[in-house]
Amino acid sequence: MEYIKQRLSAIYGESEAQKIWTGLRGKLLKAKQTHHKERKQRWDEKDVVLITYSDQFQEEGKPTLATFEKVFDRYLADNFEIVHLLPFYPYSSDDGFSVMDYKKVNPIAGDWGDIEKLSKKTRIMFDYVCNHISAKSDWFKEYIKGNPEYADFFTEMDQDTDLSAVTRPRPTPVLTKFKLEDGTEKYIWTTFSEDQIDLNFKNPFVLLKMIDVLLFYVEHGAEYIRLDAVGFMWKEVGSTCIHLEKTHQIIKLFRDIVEEVAKGTVIITETNVPHEDNISYFGNGSDEAHMVYQFPLPPLVLYTINRGNGSALTQWARNIQPAGDETTFFNFLASHDGIGLNPIRGIIPEEEILALVSELKEEGAKVNYKKNPDNTQSPYEINVTYLDALNKRSDDDDLRMKRFLSAHSILLSLQGVPAIYIQSILGSRNDYDGVAKTGMNRSINRQKYRLEEIEAELTKPSTLRSKIYRELTNIIQIRKAEHLFHPDVPMEVLEKGEKIFALTRGTDSRESLTIIHNIANEPVDVELSGEFINLMTGEDLIFINTVTLDPYQFLWLKSSN
């Protein structure tokens, strides 16, 4: 374990690291002796992730995890090898991301027995909300009381400190004023909201506490661990306070720990930032995150289908460098958050981004804004279900479904591990009642369902939900059965004209996939010759010179050489 001690010294210096090393070493030795669920090593084509809330489905008088398990068994288990349970801990705001107690399950959801039961049926991704904690947590309450053990757990700052260089993901102030029980007023660092208090990782005992949480999650079955808002963990006045070197060192330490204690546990960083900053969390390819979110993908696919032009997506995808032998991309189109815009700044001209935002607002989408250093505001994310983002309110369901399935074909065919949000496989529309109820734009894409209501829609063949569920399930099943979709199989993006997004997957000319998407609302001819098997239908096809694709049609073709 000497290398872990060296990592601690790189963060704090040898003297400070020594203060917590004995305690940490004891925790690690104990964790190694604990029986852990056997973990899959690495990933393959069968790994498709479901993103969901633990209270997504509800029945009267029953814990929501038990109800989720029913839905999972009946409709989802064959599709998804991994379930990302969004924060299922007691919380005070932000639908779970303001955690009051890291080691408890929200009583509405159930208890650790329900988590264990689900983990026997699927692999589970836990959210590790490591940057901040609820203002209503015991930790912060003890700070307010003046408990000396918690005196340095949070970042106090003079209210007049120049923090203009700090990267702001929200329009709210960096500092929030709190009054301690002794009457003293303190200004505390709050990156996201006044209810989400940033932890002070400059205090090594804070890190020790959070490592204890990390080990607790591993012990309780977490096979994937998502590091929420991780880029903001370390603060240095005068800097942007995002992506700082000490933040990278802490993530590397987390990876060191999970590989020491339970090898096969996957660390995923959530950093909604431009591509170059995002992939920096791969480290050297073997010492930091195993996966990073592919954040440009959701807005790029949306922009591509909205404009009927694949040039930007093609150019971006052609320039993606392979993740490496020990890392891969976590691909997604929709999540519990909005569709982030920062990752495509520099890929799409700003005027085009603003035009897209304006058009989507006209069609009913909501928008969240960020505060810039000059006190102006820019759109930060679009809040909308992905189904409604791709379509106008006047479109018919047939067109709506074609666009939606084409977008998900892109997601499922790219190199990496794909993740699908629960609202997407359910074919959900914008939830304006949810927005009105909570006052939060993000509620538009966070609708919860009574079990009997969602089952009635899924089992009625004529509903849009049922059609999307069946069609998307079919695509997922075909993907999982084809070894050439393994995340490590090379990808080459092809130039086939602005109305086409096309790529190949394969290791040699004898066996490969050719995947072609018409992303326009008109028929398009594509140059293509050869003998293929259509993976969607199983039929043999021969093309000489060209193939014509209908609007939004896509083909998954396997060479039959």
**Feature table: binding site for substrate:** 94, 132, 226-228, 336-337, 442
**Cβ neighbours, 10 Å, residue 186:** 16
**Cβ neighbours, 10 Å, residue 360:** 22
What order do you get walking across the sheet with 339-340 strand by strand?
339-340, 377-383, 366-371
Catalytic residue among 47, 114, 127, 228: 228
As a whole number of angstroms, the distance between CA 14 and CA 268 comes to: 28
Of 47, 221, 197, the closest CA to residue 130 belongs to: 197
Contact 203, 141 (CB under 8 A): no
H helices within 34-152, ranges in order? 64-71, 112-119, 138-145
- Cα–Cα separations (whole angstroms), residue 226 to 347, 477, 488: 26, 25, 21
Of 267, 277, 276, the closest CA to residue 243 belongs to: 277
* Chain length of the chain: 561
**Distance from CA of residue 60 to its chain's centroid?**
30
- Is 287 catalytic? The answer is no
Of 331, 291, 325, the closest CA to residue 313 belongs to: 331
Of 257, 339, 307, the closest CA to residue 501 belongs to: 307
As a whole number of angstroms, the distance between CA 425 and CA 510 comes to: 34
**What are the residues whose beta carbons fall under 8 Å from the beta carbon of 138, sequence distance 6 or more?**
100, 101
What residue has token string 């009054």? 179
Question: What DSSP state is assigned to residue 48?
Answer: -
Question: In a 3-state reduction of DSSP, which class is residue 84?
Answer: strand
The catalytic residues are: 228
